[in-house]
Amino acid sequence: MTDKTFRYELHIRLHDTDAAGRLFFAHLFRHAQDALEAFMEHIGYPIDAMLRDGEILLPLTHAEADYRRPMRHGDRIRVEVRVEDLRRRSFAIGYRFLNEAGEEMATARTIHVLVTDEIHVGESLPEALRAGLAGHVMAARTQPTE
């Protein structure tokens, strides 16, 4: 773990769980989004401002998660956010969800692609965004989802 890793903390709340007593899987993605928004603000590209200004659109085109250990109501979870891939007009964000003992509870990955409108992909990411992301690029861990 180097300082390239951005960290975000959360609690598993009652509404995160289901009648099976554990985190309902789709809610992991809500927490990933929360971590992503905090990360994007950290690198100077808050998503709310991007959407309001409408200059660049970065829709999510892929999302995936692997669930390794059950997360339960009251658990304190630390999310590690990294840039796993950075291309000319797209990037991939990786998320590791760890419990207080440092055990990996789940991992997730989202892919975002620059578009100029809803049909066409854009030319290339703005330089300032690329620079912000580049500071957090890490070799992906040993490809757990492929």
Q: Which residues are catalytic?
A: 18
Residue 29 is given by DSSP the state H
Give me the DSSP letters along 31-56: HHHHHHHHHHHHTT--HHHHHHH-S-
CA distance 75 to 113: 33
For residue 108, give Cα distances in angstroms to 67, 94, 123. 9, 6, 27
Is 116 near a copy of itself (CB under 8 A)? Answer: no
Is 11 near a copy of itself (CB under 8 A)? Answer: yes
Tokens linked to 55? 């200059």
Is 126 near a copy of itself (CB under 8 A)? Answer: no
Is 44 near a copy of itself (CB under 8 A)? Answer: no
Is 146 near a copy of itself (CB under 8 A)? Answer: yes
Is 101 near a copy of itself (CB under 8 A)? Answer: no
Element (H, E) at 134: helix 127-134
Please, what is the minimum distance in Å from the beta carbon of residue 25 to a copy of itself?
5
Of 52-60, 78-86, 92-100, 130-138, the window that binds a copy of itself (rule: CB under 8 A) is: 52-60
Q: Which residues bind a copy of itself (CB under 8 A)?
A: 11, 13-15, 17-22, 24-27, 29-30, 33-34, 37, 46-49, 51-52, 59-70, 72-74, 110, 118, 145-146
